[in-house]
Chains A and B, each alone.
Chain A
Amino acid sequence: MPLDPAPVADDMPGGDSPALAPAPADLFIFGDSHTAALELGARAEGIRTGLLYLSGNIWHKGEITLHPKLELDQPGSRYVRRRVTEARDAMGGVMFRPDVPVLASAGYHLGRLLPPMTHQGHGVDPAVLDRDPDASFMSSALFETLITLRRRSVWRLLRLLATRCDLTVIAPPILSDDPMVAMAAGYITRRLREQGLNVFDPREVEGPLGQILPPHWRAEDGVHGNAAYGQAVLQHILED
């Protein structure tokens, strides 16, 4: 079914600037908490890195927009503005620039996206009906519609940013064999690519990266990758 696009400001600095000062970083990473592994991995690789981290909750709300001066903003949020300003300053005044590749851990935020969908006992795996006598089945079409509803504004933001810089979206690591997570991640990756975005999704990689995150690649909290995982992701991307 047609879904109305969220309004997003379309103009921003960087793209039309005739001359930019040399970047203080070789890579810019932005997004949710999975940016930590990427940044640690980049540092381990000796890559100078700029970072903008905003909680997955903030991305989940879908209120981050382009801003003509700040590049990114969440209207009404001084916290976001402060974090953006810090990141811009660290990048010499421009976060998204043609000469600095950008990794985006954004557009997924599955930890916020999926749990609310299960409040009524819904699952996307038919086996859920055998496991739980109170469970309900949700078709893949409905599941994808709900994901699109929640993520379309972030996807549009990523698409606009990709016109200003060399942007690659990094899908989150594989933390479990939950079919709902796998289906959601696969769908988002497909939709992002349909919009012309470069996406690295570990689910498509053969070998350890494409499997459930082993303990030695997990952060202490157990639900994020660590520096070694981030390093492995970066090496894979660089090899490509």
Chain B
Amino acid sequence: MKAEKGVSTQQPDFRPIIARIVDNLDRMSTSSQNPYQSLPPTAYWRTGVAEPGLEGLKGLWASPWQLPADARFATFGSCFAQHISRALRAREMGWVDGEPAPSGATPKIAAHFGYGVFSARTANIYSAAQFRLLLALACGQGDPDQPEVWQDGPRFRDSLRPMIEPDGFVSVAEALASRRSMLRGLARAVRQADVVVFTLGLTEGWESVETGLPYAACPGTQGGAFDAARHRFVNYRAAGIRADLEASLQHIRLLNPEARLLLTVSPVPLTASASGQHVLVATMRSKSVLRGVAGELAEDDARVDYFPSYEIITGAPTASRFFEENLRSVRPEGVAMVMGHFFAGLDLSGPARAPLADNAAEARRAAARAAMAHEELACEEAMLEAYNAA
């Protein structure tokens, strides 16, 4: 075909137009993008939970703190907390024992008397109110002899930890001395810890009408005698629990300004509820409130974090398979999975420090060795003298 006169035979340059269209499309695309489009697969139930399945769950927790390679953890709380103690020791990690058993006690004897279960001989701490009280007393705030000692037949029990002495204490004085020793151990554990791990158990508890102080258990169930005029039921609410945890945190910082608080919620359901609700409903109430408070506190304070042991055991992916037949006790494999996620999420990339020097303990050991050496020498001399006298 020939070109008509006056008409250019050059092809039009569409490139600027195309570039403009592409640019417009890009801008259109950008303006229509929403936050979900850039989320990782773990943010979606299908790719985060349903497809990987229980065994494939990843990234459930990542510690926000870079801890030293030899980080030290103090563990307290409800019965599930002892699994954390045990797992840390099994991995030979820095588990703080603020109240060790006497030398010579076998592991079986030590455990029988409540040593080595938590970082001090606190026994189970189920409520935030109880944690707050113990920490306050450990800080020297309040009279450590004020919480009741219960008579149990010829023996006595500490209302703050009624079962800590298997057969009870032989006297009130012994119960109070043991309590003071525990408070000393609790303070020592917090001072030595990088992270205080506290496992919240439940919201239901009992307290003294007269003093308002919480009991570890309902009077009459593990010693003592229930008196409706002196003992009252309390189902702690979110605001009160938060206040107790914030006060606990203040006490912890008083003992150790650098310490961090890692909160967890025990997945173990209530054994019984005094709330008037069905125990299943009461359990969900307890756990939901605790979970909410713990999460919000972690969101609000950079030195508080939340670890999801509750979610790992009770979440939909497990279909309750981590519970024993009583639908309450957690199976060992469930504990193992919880601890697997715990260790996977820890950041221990900080430099290790010099080990803690316990000069007092070493001095005591040296004194004991010297005493025994002297005893040995003196014994031999005594016998030589005997023969000499003959």
Contact = CB atoms under 8 A, between A and B. Distances in A.
A111 B176 contact: no
Contacts of B104: 116-117, 146, 149-150
18 contacts: A33-B382, A34-B382, A35-B383, A36-B383, A111-B372, A119-B365, A121-B364, A129-B181, A133-B184, A134-B360, A137-B181, A139-B113, A146-B102, A146-B109, A149-B106, A219-B382, A220-B385, A221-B378
A129 B145 CA distance: 14
Given A121-B364, A136-B99, A32 B379 contact: yes
Contact of A39 (B361, B375, B380, B386): B386
Contacts, number: 139
Interface string B89-114: 00000000001111111100100110
Contacts of A55: 376, 379-380
A142 B105 contact: yes
B177 interface: yes
Interface string A119-151: 111100010010001111111111001100110
Contacts of A121: 360-361, 364
Contacts of A227: 389
Interface of A: 1, 32-37, 39-40, 43, 53, 55-57, 111-112, 115-122, 126, 129, 133-142, 145-146, 149-150, 219-224, 227
A33 B385 contact: no
A145 B169 CA distance: 14
A74 to B, nearest CB: 17
A116 B368 contact: yes
A126 B177 contact: yes
Given A117-B102, A136-B99, A40 B378 contact: no
B389 A120 contact: no
A43 B387 CA distance: 11
B369 to A, nearest CB: 8
Contacts of B106: 149
B339 to A, nearest CB: 28
B258 interface: no
B170 A141 contact: yes
A119 B365 CA distance: 5
Contact of B103 (A33, A56, A116, A221): A116
What does DSSP make chain B's interface, helix, strand, loop or mixed? helix
Interface residues of B, number: 48
A139 B165 contact: yes
Nearest to A56: B379
B174 A120 contact: no
B381 interface: yes
Contacts of B377: 221
A145 B379 CA distance: 27
Given A112-B372, A126-B173, A120 B181 contact: no
B375 A119 contact: no
A140 B175 CA distance: 11
A118 B368 contact: yes
A184 to B, nearest CB: 13
A196 B101 CA distance: 32
Q: Which of B166, B365, B378, B386 has the most CB of A within 10 A?
A: B386
A38 B165 CA distance: 40
B39 interface: no
Nearest to B109: A145
Given A146-B105, A223-B375, A118 B364 contact: yes
B109 A149 contact: yes
B390 A33 contact: no
Contacts of B235: none
Nearest to A125: B177
Contacts of B112: 1
A36 B382 contact: yes
B169 A139 contact: yes
Contacts of A221: 377-378, 381-382
A138 B374 CA distance: 25
A126 B380 CA distance: 34
B219 to A, nearest CB: 22
Contacts of A224: 378-379, 382
Contacts of B360: 121, 134
A137 B113 contact: no
Contacts of A33: 378-380, 382-383
A118 B177 CA distance: 16
B178 A137 contact: yes
Contact of A111 (B169, B170, B375, B389): B375
A138 B114 CA distance: 12
A139 B141 CA distance: 25
A119 B382 contact: no
A136 B177 CA distance: 9
Nearest to A115: B368
Nearest to A1: B112
A129 B180 contact: yes
Q: Which of B102, B176, B371 has the most CB of A within 10 A?
A: B102
A24 B82 CA distance: 63
Contacts of B26: none
Contact of A120 (B103, B167, B178): B103
B365 A219 contact: no
